[in-house]
């Protein structure tokens, strides 16, 4: 099977390795890819906001499956253009990707499907905003309705700041604050069936002890030894299956990866957000733990064929740590030399914001790379990930030192 994977981040590097290690994948093409992906797949230049260009590349390569990594092409309807041209696509239609593209749409689906989530108001003007803020009180949770590249959500006790953010959005969802640990749990869907993956936890704040600004994610780990044993079953029953059934009933089946961001509250699981694609960096810990061959799995999902599929996992733990460029998540310094990669032998290195120039590897984005360590428990996986990340040199770069730390300690005690 010939596969085209669209995207260029650490998530796509992990997916590329997963696809490549499935023997049924005979040719792997990635566009636009990155220097790490170029070592294992054929890369092609591509403007990912150009649906026609994606389709033309799939036609030129005559691939059997297209896997779309990032949200922007999904929300732009790239999957629809590809399906209309006859391709099997892993990734939701424009209509189904609204689960990520509009917070208000996601709330409506959850309401109709009976899925637990924070109470909310969708506001269109200052009077509605002020009323919603005062209904829920502090901490205020203010969400831009549309895609905002990780910058759309403000959680604050400062009413002025909450109001300012709300007024800067065209349309805004204001919701109740949810208390409890957050986890990410993904499901792979063919539009009728959805197979839950193992849970992972992401670290969204830039600095140790969950301080600093929100980011796309600074690290992740899986499994979660502290989570309730029935977390996967409960999320399947209360969240993933009802959403897939609701989307199918609306005539807009969700085919692809449904990302549920959940809060485990005193009153049960509550959905914080949906994404319509694999998470980054959660994918960098889930794919190395997945035993089920990835290419066949995504092909079955893309062709409505998951009825008899079950996912199998390694017992091993995985921890991934992101190396971020100076200034991330604000304005970042790019074009700095990265060295030391050849010394790394304790972890996989997934490239994200890297580029090659005259034989040198340079930084080209905020999240530069991720190191995923594996081990018999989280402590061993952490040791491997941190050993690798400390061997990489990039001026001004930083990483969190506490990824999976608390979980690894509780695991040892129990
Ligand atoms: P999102 O982009 O929706 O994942 O939001 C970014 C982050 O804001 C989440 O990871 C949470 O930490 C936080 N957040 C979002 N919604 C809520 C909520 N209702 N209650 C508490 N924290 C939230
Ligand atoms: N790790 C969060 C995300 O992928 O949106």
> Considering the chain, what is the average pLDDT of its residues?
96
Pick the CATH number of 180-299 from 3.30.360.10, 3.30.470.20, 3.90.1170.50, 3.90.1640.10: 3.30.470.20
Q: Would you state the pLDDT for residue 150?
A: 63
Specify the 3-state DSSP secondary structure of 317: strand
pTM for this entry: 0.96
DSSP structure class, residue 38: H
Q: Which CATH architecture has domain 120-175?
A: 2-Layer Sandwich (3.30)
Portions of the chain given CATH number 3.30.1490.20: 120-175
DSSP structure class, residue 192: S
Of 12, 202, 284, 320, which is best to mutate to test ligand 2, by the most ligand atoms within 8 angstroms of its C-beta?
202
CB 37 within 8 A of CB 13: yes
The sheet that has 140-144: what strands, in order across it? 120-123, 172-175, 140-144, 153-156
In angstroms, the CA 378 to CA 326 distance is 28
Portions of the chain given CATH number 3.30.470.20: 180-299
Find out whether the beta carbon of 182 lies less than 6 Å from any atom of ligand 1: yes
Q: Would you state the pLDDT for residue 148?
A: 73
Ligand number nearest CA of 265 is 1
In angstroms, the CA 104 to CA 171 distance is 9
Q: How far, in Å, from the CA of 283 to the mean position of ligand 2?
A: 9
| Residue closest to 229 by CA, chosen among 259, 203, 195, 264 | 264
In angstroms, the CA 274 to CA 391 distance is 35
Binned at pLDDT 50, 70 and 90, residue 116 comes out as very high
pLDDT over 90 at 252, yes or no:
yes
In angstroms, the CA 37 to CA 30 distance is 8
Q: Would you state the pLDDT for residue 274?
A: 96
Portions of the chain given CATH number 3.40.50.20: 2-90
**Fold of the domain built from segment(s) 317-413:** 3.90.600
Q: What is the mean pLDDT of residues 125-131?
A: 90
Q: What is the mean pLDDT of residues 327-344?
A: 95
**Fold of the domain built from segment(s) 2-90:** Rossmann fold (3.40.50)
Find out whether the beta carbon of 344 lies less than 6 Å from any atom of ligand 1: no
Q: What is the mean pLDDT of residues 74-101?
A: 98
pLDDT, tens digit (0-9, with 9 covering 90-100), for 141-182: 999 988 877 678 889 999 999 899 989 888 899 999 999 999
In angstroms, the CA 117 to CA 110 distance is 7
Q: Would you state the pLDDT for residue 159?
A: 92
Of 157, 273, 280, which is best to mutate to test ligand 1, by the most ligand atoms within 8 angstroms of its C-beta?
273
In angstroms, the CA 325 to CA 332 distance is 6
Binned at pLDDT 50, 70 and 90, residue 412 comes out as confident
Distances in Å between the alpha carbon of 57 and those of 61, 68, 86, 205? 6, 13, 14, 37
Find out whether the beta carbon of 204 lies less than 6 Å from any atom of ligand 1: yes
pLDDT over 90 at 184, yes or no:
yes
What are 301's two structure tokens?
Answer: 């999902």
Portions of the chain given CATH number 3.90.600.10: 317-413
Sign of CA dihedral 362, 367, 372, 377: positive
pLDDT, tens digit (0-9, with 9 covering 90-100), for 75-86: 999 999 999 999
Distances in Å between the alpha carbon of 25 and those of 67, 85, 163, 293, 308? 13, 21, 50, 10, 21
Residue nearest to atom 4 of ligand 2 (CA): 279
In angstroms, the CA 276 to CA 255 distance is 9
In angstroms, the CA 393 to CA 340 distance is 6
Q: How far, in Å, from the CA of 152 to the mean position of ligand 1?
A: 10
Ligand number nearest CA of 153 is 1
Q: How far, in Å, from the CA of 214 to the mean position of ligand 1?
A: 10
Q: Is 40 exposed, middle or buried (0-12, 13-18, 19+ CB in 10 A)?
A: middle
Which of 234-243, 313-322, 328-337 has the lowest average pLDDT? Answer: 328-337
Of 149, 218, 259, 274, which is best to mutate to test ligand 2, by the most ligand atoms within 8 angstroms of its C-beta?
259
- Which runs of consecutive H residues, i.e. helices, occur in 319-362? none
DSSP structure class, residue 195: E
Find out whether the beta carbon of 273 lies less than 6 Å from any atom of ligand 1: yes
Q: Would you state the pLDDT for residue 149?
A: 72
């Amino acid at each position: 099977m010939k596969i085209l994977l669209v995207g260029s981040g650490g998530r796509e590097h992990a997916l590329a390795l997963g696809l490549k290690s499935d023997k049924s994948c005979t040719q792997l093409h990635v566009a636009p890819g990155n220097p790490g992906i170029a070592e294992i797949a054929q890369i092609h230049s591509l403007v990912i906001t150009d649906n026609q260009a994606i389709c033309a590349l799939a036609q030129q390569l005559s691939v059997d499956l297209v896997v779309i990594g990032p949200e922007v092409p999904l929300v732009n309807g790239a999957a629809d253009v590809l399906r209309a041209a006859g391709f099997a696509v892993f990734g939701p239609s424009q209509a189904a990707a609204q689960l990520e593209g509009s917070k208000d749409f996601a709330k409506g689906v959850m309401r109709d499907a009976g899925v637990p989530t924070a109470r909310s108001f969708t506001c269109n003007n200052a009077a509605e905003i002020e009323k919603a803020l005062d209904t829920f009180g502090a901490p205020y949770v203010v969400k831009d309705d549309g895609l905002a590249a990780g910058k759309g959500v403000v959680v604050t006790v400062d009413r002025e700041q909450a109001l300012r953010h709300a007024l800067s959005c065209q349309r805004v969802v204001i919701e109740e604050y949810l208390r409890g640990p957050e986890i990410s749990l993904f499901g792979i869907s063919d539009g009728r069936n959805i197979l839950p993956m193992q849970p992972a936890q992401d670290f969204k704040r830039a600095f140790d002890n969950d301080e600093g600004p929100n980011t796309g994610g600074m690290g992740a780990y899986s499994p979660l030894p502290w989570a309730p044993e029935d977390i996967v079953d409960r999320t399947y029953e209360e969240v993933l299956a009802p959403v897939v059934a609701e989307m199918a009933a609306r005539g807009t089946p969700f085919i692809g990866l449904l990302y549920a961001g959940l809060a485990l509250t005193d009153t049960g699981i509550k959905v914080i957000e949906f994404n319509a694609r694999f998470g980054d960096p959660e994918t960098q810990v889930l794919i190395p733990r997945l035993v089920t061959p990835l290419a066949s799995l995504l092909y079955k999902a893309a062709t409505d064929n998951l009825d008899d599929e079950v996912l199998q996992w390694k017992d091993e733990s995985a921890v991934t740590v992101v190396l971020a460029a100076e200034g991330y998540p604000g304005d970042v310094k790019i074009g700095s030399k990265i060295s030391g990669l050849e010394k790394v032998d304790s972890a996989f290195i997934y490239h994200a914001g890297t580029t090659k120039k005259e034989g040198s590897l340079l930084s080209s984005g905020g999240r530069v790379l991720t190191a995923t360590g594996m081990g018999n428990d989280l402590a061993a996986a952490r040791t491997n990930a941190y050993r690798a990340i400390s061997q990489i040199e990039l001026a001004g770069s930083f990483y969190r030192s506490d990824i999976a730390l608390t979980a690894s300690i509780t695991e040892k005690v129990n």
